[in-house]
Amino acid sequence: MPKAAPPTGPPDPPPPADKTPPAFVASLQSAIAGSVTHVSYWVGDWTIVVPATQILNIARHLRDAPDAAFDLCSDVTATDWPPRGTGRFDVVYSLYSTRHRHRIRVKTIVGEHQPLPSVTSVWPAANWLEREIYDMFGVNFAGHPDRRRILMPEDWQGFPQRKDYPLEGPGELLMENPLDWLKLRQAKEEAEIE
Amino acid sequence: MSTPTVHHGAMFDTNELVINMGPQHPSTHGVLRVVLRLDGEKVVDADVVIGYLHRGIEKLSENRNWTQIVLLTDRMDYVAAATSNVGYCETVEKLMSLEVPRRARYVRTILCELQRIASHCLWLGTHAMDIGAMTVFLYAFRERELILDLFEEYCGARLTYNSMRIGGLPLEIPPGWDQKVLEFCKIMDAKVDEYEELLTHNRIWLERTKGVGVIDGPEAVAIGLSGPALRGSGVPRDVRKDEPYAAYDEMEFDVPIGTVGDTYDRYLVRIEEFRQSLRIIRQATEGLPEGPIVGKVPRLIKPPAGETYHAIESPKGELGYFIVSDGKSTNPYRFRVRPPSFCNLQALPRLVRGHLVADVVALIGSIDIVLGEVDR
């Protein structure tokens, strides 16, 4: 029996006929041309899909426009869809407005080595969140002030939460014997002191 | 200030001292490492290093079915495990558009608020002990024991409850449990007054916490704070009021807000949250409706393909779950937790700048972190 094809992305259904997108989506589309490629509505959440190159302008507009006023960046996260080839990562920004009390999810599609502008200059809350995405998925955030790993050790190779990374860990890449770790660390320290 | 201070062999100013508040430290509330750059006793910069408790819960969840993940959510914020369970179950119920019976929503509210009091007891005990008030530690843990006894009677566990299922709860409350909860509320009211008597007007407490770590409202929102840490800066944001879940839309309660945004305000906000939680528990227990404790849930849980983000108010802040389902397998495709402690801890370097080393300890306690949640 042929195996079903692996999923290439969430369905992102368009809104049903009786629901109109919130007003700031239209004002975003008129302010920045070509910003919203798709509007979706699913179980009470509005999502807009935007191109990766425009993300910084869109973020600034969403924070500063008076009808949007998204000042709280709740979450920045990524999903890995390997069957998509180029554009395998979905970077999702969950935003909340403390003034109008509404939410929006902004999604971009980004490839493995494609640089994505960092929104840390717009919302400082995204600093560690983007560091975690870099650590776990390897998304290249351009302009991030602090590009280091956050949860894994600094010298870790590989990006653990990608779908092709094994759950049990890298296996023979991992040194089982603590004496090997010590030797490696001594060699590294000697190389740096010189 | 963006350059990290963890450099091997870097040439740094010899007037500055780089001190490591290592992962093993009695006051860092877990395995947290803070690398401090000091000018004498004043902190010039702090670099927070986390990841010592990273267990890969997000990747593990991609290999567990939807019901098994409830166990993993317990282990993240182990101080307030029932809240993490509720958040996860509510997100999956939102994804499946499941209806939870009213009784289950009320019991969830009671358990969440009991959890809030237990978490704040632990916060108060450890925060006060870090600053030097040892008595409060023992008093707060004595009350936490009462709550843990209630939980043990309900689900058999004291720390990691696994007390929620998708669609409701697995267990009916034992007979007489609601009377015990009301008795606990009576005891706790007097105890909160006791804590206030020990600390609120205490000269040493005021000296140590007033003016320490001041952050104003807009900056707190921008840096990603949430929960009592944000409300201490005057921002009236509470998920229970803004986007009600469980039975909070039927409960009457107030949300305490601070003014200045220093450690003392965050302390006052949490003390008042004790009282408001007791108010909610009383309302929910006295008005507990009859009915089923679990809704109509299919035997094998398979949410339709799609993704959603749902947030609840955990004692630490906004706990959000972003779950992606591909509609076909029995495991989630992507399970992401937005941990409040992780996002609150980002603010530590900003809060600590210019203060003394002793204030670093007070601020770590004031932000109220649980490393299990920060690292997952």
CB contact under 8 A, A127 and B346: yes
pLDDT at B80: 87
* Mean pLDDT in residue range B334-362: 90
A29 Cα to chain B: minimum distance (Å): 23
The strand pair at A115-117 and A140-142 is best described as parallel
Backbone angles phi, psi at A159, to 5 degrees: -120, 105
pLDDT, chain B, mean:
88
pLDDT at B271: 92
* Mean pLDDT in residue range B14-24: 83
Q: Taking CB atoms and an 8 Å cut-off, how many pairs form between chains A and B?
A: 117
**CATH class for the domain made up of A23-163:** alpha beta
Rounded CA separation B126/B296 (Å): 42
pLDDT at A18: 67
- Whether B10 has its CB under 8 Å from any CB of chain A: the answer is no
Bridge partner residues of B53 (DSSP): none
pLDDT tens for each residue of B183-232:
999 999 999 999 988 888 989 999 988 888 899 888 899 998 989 999 98
Res. B323: pLDDT tops 50: yes
pLDDT at A90: 87
Take residue A100 and report the two structure tokens written for it: 């109008």
pLDDT at A6: 64
Asked if B27 and B291 count as a contact pair (C-beta separation under 8 A), the reply is no
Least confident of A184-193, B156-165, B247-256, B271-280: A184-193
Q: Return the residue in A128, A146, A190 with the most chain B beta carbons within 10 A, the one to mutate for interface testing.
A: A128
Res. B120: pLDDT tops 90: yes
CB contact under 8 A, A98 and B338: no
Residue A55: its H or E element: helix A55-64
Nearest CA in chain A to B3: A146
- Whether B321 has its CB under 8 Å from any CB of chain A: the answer is no
Rounded CA separation B276/A125 (Å): 29
Phi-psi region of A143 (alpha: psi -120 to 50; beta: other; left: phi over 0): left
pLDDT at A2: 47
Rounded CA separation B22/B127 (Å): 18
pLDDT at A171: 63
- Whether B320 has its CB under 8 Å from any CB of chain A: the answer is yes
In 3-state terms chain B splits into helix, strand, coil percentages (rounded to 5) of 45, 10, 40
Coil/strand/helix, residue B313: strand
Q: Hey, what CATH topology would domain B57-375 get? A: Cytochrome-c3 Hydrogenase; chain B (1.10.645)
Show me where the domains of chain A are located: 23-163
Total residue length of chain A = 194
Q: Which of B222, B307, B338 sits opposite A75 (nearest CB)?
A: B338
Show me where the domains of chain B are located: 57-375
* Mean pLDDT in residue range B104-109: 91
CB contact under 8 A, A75 and B322: yes
Q: Which of A43, A129, A154 sits opposite B94 (nearest CB)?
A: A43
CB contact under 8 A, B346 and A192: no
pLDDT-derived band of residue B13, with 50, 70 and 90 as boundaries? low
With the C-alpha atoms ordered B157, B159, B162, B163, is the resulting torsion angle positive or negative? positive
pLDDT-derived band of residue B122, with 50, 70 and 90 as boundaries? very high
Asked if B337 and B376 count as a contact pair (C-beta separation under 8 A), the reply is yes
pLDDT-derived band of residue B148, with 50, 70 and 90 as boundaries? very high
Contacting residues of B for A44, CB less than 8 Å apart: 94, 308
Name the amino acid, one letter, at A193: I
pLDDT per residue rounded down to tens, chain A (194 residues): 445 556 666 666 766 666 777 777 778 877 877 777 888 888 888 888 888 888 888 888 888 888 888 888 899 999 888 887 778 888 999 999 888 888 888 988 888 888 889 999 889 989 899 999 999 998 888 888 888 888 888 888 888 888 888 877 776 555 566 677 777 778 878 877 65
Res. B1: pLDDT tops 60: no
The DSSP output letter for B250 is G
* Mean pLDDT in residue range B331-355: 90
Asked if A146 and A126 count as a contact pair (C-beta separation under 8 A), the reply is no
pLDDT tens for each residue of B67-96:
889 988 888 888 889 999 999 999 999 888
Task: Find all residues with CB under 8 Å of B287, minimum gap 6, and list them.
Answer: B106, B250
